[in-house]
Amino acid sequence: MTKIIALAGNPNSGKTTMFNDLTGSTQHTGNWPGVTVEKKEGRLKGRRDVTVQDLPGIYSLSPYSPEELVARNYLVKERPDVIVNIVDATNIERNLYLTTQLAELGIPVVIALNMIDIVNKNGDLIDIRQLGEALGCAVVPTSALKGTGLEKAAETALSCSGKPPLSPRPIFSGDVEGALAEIGSLLSERRKERGETPLTATELRWSSIKVFERDAEQTANPDTLLGAGAAARIEEIIRALEDRYDDDSESIITNERYLFIAGVVRECVQKKNRHTLSASDKIDRVVTNRVLALPIFAGVMFLVYFLSISTIGGYMTDWVNDSLFGDIVPNAVGGLLDSLGTAEWLNALILDGIIAGVGAVLGFLPQMLVLFLCLAFLEDCGYMARIAFILDRVFKRFGLSGKSFIPILVGTGCGVPGIMASRTIESDNDRRMTVMTTTFIPCGAKLPIIALIAGALFPGSMWIAPSAYFLGIAAILITGVMLKKTRGFAGKPSPFVMELPAYHMPGAPGVLRTMLDRGLAFVKRAGTIILIAAIVIWFLSSFDFSLRMAETSDSILAAIGGAVAPIFDPLGWGDWRATVATVTGLIAKENIVGTFGVLYGFGEVAEDGAEYWPQLAAAFTPLAAYAFLAFNLLCAPCFAAIGAIRREMMSAKWTWFAVGYQCGFAYVVALIIYQMGMLASGHFGVGTVFAILCILVIVYMLFIKKPYAGADAKNTQRLAAAAAAAE
């Protein structure tokens, strides 16, 4: 019989790192039944009979978010064999709040006291034995980052899984415990009247606390559940205590838990320097400073993109493009095909289609790996959590929640999980807006486009790649302000609470795994979607409508692209090749680079010893190239991301609105960039007039007072009602 270990803990407590270490390559992800919150589970390494279930990171079992609701329902209804509660030992008081709730479920609990290495380094002491006795469960010191203590935690959990849990111990003050005892007695009497099985002591205490808190799950129908008399008496008990404490019942329980935790910490934890700032606090005084935070963030991201595009990543990409796919692979494959005597069309398909298209994309893989490595390092060391905190202050000024930054951060790797990460936002309006704007940030698939434009049109320039990132941020903020002025998106931003983990040096295995996972996902796309797209583009660019081989300029693709190209004339790149590349980018953004590789004859050029980028540079002016870059960074994302938008929006109408807005906004931004650049050089035309009108409209939307200010109160009421219904 399979045993189930559930991992529960606060966000940033090291839960995911521990899950990855315990399960290795046996893990898989999906969605929880009936909801869109991600579900992760895997087999314990070396034990096919043990399943490890990774619950969403939560702070409480009193659900206010979809994650907390999922975790609570799973623990209460599915009841795993044992819970491993990951507790951040550096912030033990905050983390034990969840522990006190888990201990009331009647399921064996093992505490994995994580980051114990940092505690020891700080010179602090935690009495493990005394802590376990105070909480009534086993405690195992661990360091998920260094991989120490994890196997022992799993072994301890398995040894506890068959044992009955300890009876719940009283942790509240006498008045509260007395009220809970009376409520429990009323619940027991009611069940006896209805002929139902008596509750165990654990179940009775859990139900009594939840009824006292007026938890919607427990009090959905008081007349049926309790009876009118019992319900009225329970309400009297609760109100009497609320009057005595001058607080609501849920806050009373919360305060009682923290009083208990404070006593436990006082007895079990000895801090070496209680009144001295930790290293993390000292660093935060600088990096989260109201004045310095944003410049430091800008400098960090500039350095990340500089390393990825212009230095380390750039050197490796130059070799891959010029030597590997520009000389070695084409010559080797070409020689093999000549020796086999294959048909001319097959040679063209392989050299000019597959190698030219897929090779042009894979050539940028080194830059992407460097970017993924830098981002994984920033995430793991704790800095990205600070960025979410910093940008929360900024986002609120623009009508967005700080929670919107989490999807944006995830979206730097891939837009699909970034869009899915918006599920944590409670407000429907804020969630829709985040879904619509997350793909404005350059994802890994857009990095080859940035590198291509930077290398071909702006050689040696350090500002192109970072400007693409901050263009995405600016687009998100401007969109947030404008959409918040409309009826469909009006309302106050969702509140944002996030734990700031202590700074630490990331472990090499975790960082490398994140980098390789993202890189592998990119290679898989190149080997499937981009390969197919490259073959299709080659065919359409090599044959005319009579299905005879023709020059590229006389091909089917040239005719189709030429018909659509005039739309982009005002943006400075009304060439049919650029138009076709943009359209294929809707399938996968990397296709833009692959399409250029096919259309400009990358394979043939490499054989002649010429280069790919100069041909592209001859087709674009620098201004037109940057407008092209801006449009393709901001327009509708790839098909996979559009599918994710459809799943998260749960509405075809909202999906079409999102795609239409993204394309329209991208067109306007590219129009303004090109036409204002032309105006600066002395050119004025009809396009300039439209660009100026667009600027005026944007400025008007940015500074107009909120026309739907009354929607804030209505939205707040709707959120409260939705939260109650979800519980």
Both 252 and 354 in a single domain?
A: no
Of 79-83, 191-195, 420-424, 701-705, the range with the lowest mean pLDDT is 420-424
Q: How confident is the model at residue 548, as a pLDDT?
A: 79
Burial class (CB in 10 A: 0-12, 13-18, 19+), 513: middle
Q: 12 — phi, psi (to 5°)?
A: 65, 20
Query: What range does the domain containing 16 cover?
Result: 3-161
- Count the neighbouring beta carbons within 10 Å of the beta carbon of residue 457: 22
Q: Would the pLDDT of 604 be above 50?
A: no
Both 144 and 255 in a single domain?
A: no
Q: Would the pLDDT of 495 be above 60?
A: no
Of 7-16, 270-279, 500-509, 616-625, the range with the lowest mean pLDDT is 270-279
**Between 223 and 307, residue with greater pLDDT:** 307
Q: How confident is the model at residue 667, as a pLDDT?
A: 94
What whole-number distance in Å separates Cα of residue 642 and Cα of residue 362? Answer: 23
Pairing, β 38-44 against β 47-54: antiparallel
Q: How confident is the model at residue 603, as a pLDDT?
A: 38
DSSP secondary structure string, 684-709?
--HHHHHHHHHHHHHHHHHHS--TTT
Both 154 and 180 in a single domain?
A: no
| Percentage of residues of the chain with pLDDT beyond 90 | 13
Q: Would the pLDDT of 408 be above 50?
A: yes
What whole-number distance in Å separates Cα of residue 448 and Cα of residue 588? Answer: 12
Domain containing residue 237: CATH number: 1.10.287.1770
Of 5-19, 146-160, 366-380, 623-637, the range with the lowest mean pLDDT is 366-380
Q: How confident is the model at residue 248, as a pLDDT?
A: 84
Q: 210-231 burial string, b = 16+ CB within 10 Å, else e?
A: bbbbebeebbeebeebbbeebb
Both 528 and 567 in a single domain?
A: yes
Q: Which whole number is the average pLDDT over 95-117?
A: 90
Q: How confident is the model at residue 543, as a pLDDT?
A: 80
Q: 691 — phi, psi (to 5°)?
A: -65, -40
The 3 state secondary structure assigned to 37-86 is CEEEEEEECCEEEEEEEECCCCCCCCCCCHHHHHHHHHHHHHCCCEEEEE
CA distances from 386 to 366, 439, 541, 655 (A): 28, 21, 49, 32
Both 516 and 657 in a single domain?
A: yes
Both 376 and 449 in a single domain?
A: yes
- Residue 621's Cβ-side half-sphere holds a number of Cα atoms within 13 Å equal to 12
Q: Is residue 323 part of a domain?
A: yes
**Between 525 and 446, residue with greater pLDDT:** 446
Which letter does DSSP use for residue 502 in this model?
Answer: P
Both 57 and 151 in a single domain?
A: yes
What whole-number distance in Å separates Cα of residue 321 and Cα of residue 314? Answer: 10
The per-residue pLDDT for range 682-695, each reduced to its tens digit, is 888 899 999 999 99
Pairing, β 47-54 against β 109-114: unpaired
Q: 427 — phi, psi (to 5°)?
A: -70, 125
Domain containing residue 111: CATH number: 3.40.50.300
Both 110 and 178 in a single domain?
A: no
Q: Which residues make Cβ contacts (< 8 Å) with residue 693, sequence separation at least 6?
A: none
Q: Would the pLDDT of 361 be above 70?
A: no
Is residue 591 within 8 Å of residue 581, measured between CB atoms? Answer: yes
Tokens 């609470």 found at: 497
pLDDT band (50, 70, 90) for residue 142: very high
Q: Which helix (H) or strand (E) holds 111?
A: strand 109-114
Q: How confident is the model at residue 690, as a pLDDT?
A: 93
Q: DSSP alpha helices (H): ranges in 269-402?
A: 279-287, 293-305, 312-319, 329-340, 344-348, 356-362, 365-381, 383-397
Q: Would the pLDDT of 111 be above 50?
A: yes
Q: 33 — phi, psi (to 5°)?
A: -55, 125
Point out the domain boundary residue: 127, 161, 195: 161
Angle, CA of 87, 93 and 94, to the nearest 5°:
75
Token output for 703: 């500074």
What whole-number distance in Å separates Cα of residue 277 and Cα of residue 286? Answer: 13
Summary mean pLDDT of the chain: 78
Of 136, 6, 123, 134, the C-alpha closest to 58 is 6
Which residues are paired to 110 by β-bridges? 84, 138
The per-residue pLDDT for range 533-563, each reduced to its tens digit, is 667 777 777 788 877 777 767 788 788 888 8
Dihedral-angle region of residue 269 (phi above 0 means left; psi in -120 to 50 means alpha; beta otherwise): beta
Both 375 and 436 in a single domain?
A: yes
Which letter does DSSP use for residue 14 in this model?
Answer: S
Is residue 54 within 8 Å of residue 41, measured between CB atoms? Answer: yes
**Between 195 and 603, residue with greater pLDDT:** 195
Of 12-16, 195-199, 333-337, 526-530, the range with the lowest mean pLDDT is 526-530
Q: Is residue 364 part of a domain?
A: yes
Q: How confident is the model at residue 218, as a pLDDT?
A: 62
Of 42, 38, 40, 15, the C-alpha closest to 27 is 42
Both 677 and 650 in a single domain?
A: yes
Q: Would the pLDDT of 696 be above 90?
A: yes
Please give the tally of structural domains in the chain: 3
Q: Is residue 203 part of a domain?
A: yes
Q: 87 — phi, psi (to 5°)?
A: -115, 125
Q: Is residue 261 part of a domain?
A: yes
The per-residue pLDDT for range 657-685, each reduced to its tens digit, is 999 999 999 999 999 999 999 999 888 88
Q: How confident is the model at residue 715, as a pLDDT?
A: 47
CA distances from 467 to 288, 471, 673 (A): 22, 6, 13
Q: Which whole number is the average pLDDT over 700-715?
A: 64
Both 105 and 223 in a single domain?
A: no
pTM, whole model, 2 decimals? 0.58
Q: Is residue 88 part of a domain?
A: yes
Q: Which whole number is the average pLDDT over 332-360?
A: 70
Burial class (CB in 10 A: 0-12, 13-18, 19+), 421: buried
Q: Would the pLDDT of 700 be above 80?
A: yes
Both 459 and 567 in a single domain?
A: yes
Q: 631 — phi, psi (to 5°)?
A: -60, -45
Q: Is residue 711 part of a domain?
A: no
Q: Is residue 132 part of a domain?
A: yes
**CA-CA-CA-CA dihedral for 8, 422, 444, 450, to nearest 10:** -150
- Walk across the sheet containing 109-114 and list its strands: 28-31, 38-44, 47-54, 3-9, 82-88, 109-114, 138-141
The SS3 assignment for 114 reads strand
What whole-number distance in Å separates Cα of residue 158 and Cα of residue 181? Answer: 33
Is residue 415 within 8 Å of residue 638, measured between CB atoms? Answer: yes
Which letter does DSSP use for residue 311 in this model?
Answer: S
The 3 state secondary structure assigned to 140-190 is EECECCCCECHHHHHHHHHHHHCCCCCCCCCCCCHHHHHHHHHHHHHHHHH
Q: Which whole number is the average pLDDT over 508-526?
A: 74
Q: Which whole number is the average pLDDT over 273-294?
A: 78
Q: Is residue 585 part of a domain?
A: yes
Point out the domain boundary residue: 270, 303, 332: 270
Point out the domain boundary residue: 161, 182, 212: 161
Q: Would the pLDDT of 295 be above 80?
A: yes
CA distances from 330 to 319, 362, 452, 527 (A): 14, 14, 20, 17
